[in-house]
Amino acid sequence: MSVTKSVIEKVKHMDPEQKEFHQAVEEVMETLEPTAERHPEFVKNNIYERIVEPERTIMFRVPWADDKNNVHVNRGFRVQFNNAIGPFKGGIRFHPSVNLSIIKFLGFEQIFKNSLTTLAMGGGKGGSDFDPKGKSDAEIMRFCQSFMRELFRHIGPETDVPAGDIGVGGREIGYMYGYYKKIRNDHTGVLTGKGIEYGGSLVRPEATGYGAVYFAAEMLGTRGHDFKGKRVAVSGAGNVAQFAIEKVNQLGGKVISVCDSSATIIDEAGIDNDKLRYLMELKNLRRGRVSEYADTYKTDCFEGKNVWDVIREQGIKIDVALPCATQNEIDGANAQGLADNGCFCVAEGANMPSSPEAVRVFQASNFLFGPGKAANAGGVATSGLEMSQNSSKLSWSRDEVDGKLLNIMKGIHKSCLDAAEAYGKNGDYVTGANIAGFVKVAKAMIAYGVI
């Protein structure tokens, strides 16, 4: 059995219930076999087995009281996976689905995503099974403060720098950072995604969505295309989806879809900037459902279905897909539906939104396929830029940050193609992203010795 396959089998044996983590390890390890042949020092130093084991896993209870003074308890997690090239870095997710397997999968992916940015950031992830939907601001504040009462002892600007993720936006970051600052008596850049008024970076809210579109534009360019006139499907309706739509509009494309957990809307006229402003108000301020968008603009609304179900079942033609919702939202059947309906480019704005079966369909159909660790690295890249600004006590202009983000995404795209070519997999962004991210971390781990 090969080195990488033996690692996959060991992970499954040691943690048989962690299916999401297994999927992430398989996706990476299956592409790394050529590195074992070319770098025997990686095998000698057992890098493949060491890199799938987190440096530390922290689990804790989070007690909090609701507005009626009823006491609840949730689980909190922080997985500090690998800090070979910089402090642990990765978001905090608040969602009922959060468990140790999901946090480990996200933290493992973060190692390679952060490596690809070329910035000095290791990989980590955290979160809780707390559901912020339907909670008051006061309830969310109390939960965030309780969460930080434990997390604060494990993080720091040169140790571990969390950020936002699903269910954790500017409001939640503000509550957590304010409490950290109070109990530590320390005003340092220990969280990213902060408000501009207290150390945040311009373009950080837009960065993941913008970055995914920048990466897709680079992929399209390899075949002589751009976004002008392209029909684009976007899933999700949150921060990433909203700013992906904004950037597609700026580049001349037409977005025809968004969805949330209740429904999908298809707007054949396109979600222009005026409609996007309405969607942002609906989701960010009123916390409403996309069905209200359908009522307002008289568009089709499909209850209980995601975007990819609708495209497959309705035969809707698109050119580019930007999955920006959650893991495994595109299965094999939906991937085939995209291929049958003319799509030829997918850039993942979410973490692992395409199932292994979907990825196989994309590759067999000669798609331009940008995996999440490359295509959605814009968010963490701009978090790294926020860290740099905090360290130097500077605040860069919007154009300066956006320019740096664009250059980082172009650099990631080139690194993926160069690594794929170097290892005999021309044009394979999955292999290229995994190898380019892995080799840098592996060499740093060897340099440190056995620690």
Provide the residue type at 31 as one letter. T
- Give the Å distances, CA to CA, from 417 to 173, 206, 429: 35, 25, 6
Three-class SS of residue 75?
A: strand
Phi then psi for residue 397, to 5 deg, are -75, 165
Token pair of 36, please? 């074992």
Tokens found for residue 241: 């989806």
Q: Where are the alpha helices (DSSP H) in 186-289?
A: 207-221, 239-250, 273-280
Which residue matches tokens 């997985």? 79
Q: CA–CA separation, 179 vs 182, rounded Å?
A: 5
Cα–Cα distances (Å) from 345 to 22, 340, 434, in that order, read: 26, 13, 19
Could you identify the residue written with the tokens 């860069």? 396
Catalytic residue among 89, 104, 113, 125: 125
User: Is position 125 annotated as part of the catalytic site?
Assistant: yes
CA distance to 133, 270, 350, per residue, from 343 (Å)? 33, 17, 18
Record the tokens describing residue 119, joined without a space: 């910035």
Looking at the chain, the number of H-run helices and the number of E-run strands are 19, 13
> Dihedrals φ, ψ of 206, to 5°?
-85, -15
Strand partners, 124: 80
Please list the alpha-helical segments (H only) found in 265-377: 273-280, 290-297, 307-314, 332-340, 356-364, 372-375
Tell whether the torsion through CA atoms of 148, 153, 155 and 157 is positive or negative: positive
Residues involved in catalysis = 125
